[in-house]
Amino acid sequence: MSQAAAGAEVTHRLVSSPAGRIHLVEQGSGPLVLLVHGFPESWYSWRHQLPVLAAAGYRAVAIDVRGYGRSSKPEDVAAYRMLELVEDNVAVVHALGEQTAVIVGHDWGAPIAANSALVRPDVFRAVGLLSVPYAPRGGPRPSEIFARMGGDEEFYISYFQEPGRAETEIEPDVRGWLAGIYAALSADTRPSAGAPDPLSVSPGGTLRDRFPAGRLPAWLSTDDLDVYAGEFERTGLSRALNRYRNVDRDWEDLADFDGAPITQPSLFIGGALDAPTNWRADAIEAYPTTLPGLVSSHILDGCGHWIQQERPTEVNEILTGWLASLPA
């Protein structure tokens, strides 16, 4: 287990936010770097980055996003809309006695970080995105796009829309389901070329029908899996899944930002074998327009979806190099 996960020089805190409270894990001192996880993860997904960023002279803070871990879990599905999560991030910065921060996100954390920078450029002076490229708001409703992506099957985001449906699949065996999705999207355990897409559901089927079984990816120890499973067995999955159930609300809420670029200094890291990075190759090509402050963009060969856990050394080198390049 890493130094951060073991608790050395790490502080766990609860701070007030519009959600009620946000749980965070903090290490180091210096300019604030806020780390935002994705699904189905927690602050723990940044365990390899916390000590390295701290050693490089930064105040590294990884949060449990609203609905996860020890953070508050409002019951209303609409409480998980993007603008609410942006305000949580702003509240964390201020609760820590800071006025500005660099924000870095992975998976769902990437659009949360991107929109935090877009909506509150006064607070978030730079933004790093892992796995999910930035694409400005625009086009049809997201639910319509995802319905088309499924084709004759059902794309996983569409599958997640109905409250209770995915929970019925996951919650009888949280640990097994998590092991399956982590393996399905990891470079060393993903299904072989030509196998059915593990992020689509066949008629009458479930996601886990297509998950690999029998071995964990190299980046995930049994102890790591215990941490993730323990959190979700305690909290359930509904609040985490509610993020997916707000994609159309987000589209409506962000209408004033239609087509808007993010102008702060930015960074992108994707995996060559990472599905969201490949789906949005067009978004990466558009970065000169949509991310005019882009400092560097990296695609890691042979890397899957769980970038900062699969390739911690490379990600840490890229992150610290980028952070060092930013204006003070």
Active site residue 12: no
* Cβ-based neighbour number of residue 119 at 10 Å: 21
Separation of alpha carbons 241 and 138, rounded Å:
23
Separation of alpha carbons 225 and 248, rounded Å:
32
What single DSSP character describes residue 120? -
Annotated catalytic residue: which of 37, 48, 106, 305? Answer: 305
Separation of alpha carbons 312 and 300, rounded Å:
11
SS3 of 43, please? Answer: helix
Separation of alpha carbons 320 and 328, rounded Å:
14
Active site residue 253: no
Q: Which of 270, 283, 256 is nearest to 310 (CA)?
A: 270
Q: Using alpha carbons, list the distances in angstroms from residue 272 to 187, 240, 308.
A: 9, 27, 14
Annotated catalytic residue: which of 107, 250, 253, 274? Answer: 107
Q: What is the dihedral of CA 286, 288, 291, 292, to 10 degrees?
A: -160
Q: What's the token pair of residue 215? A: 């071995």
* Contact call for residues 137 and 249 (beta carbons, < 8 A): no
Q: Which of 84, 77, 33, 88 is nearest to 59 (CA)?
A: 33
Query: In which residue are the tokens 């602050």 written?
Result: 43
DSSP per residue, 175-229: HHHHHHHHHHTSTTTSPPTTSPPTTEE-TT--GGGGS--S---TT--HHHHHHHH
Residues designated as active site: 107, 305
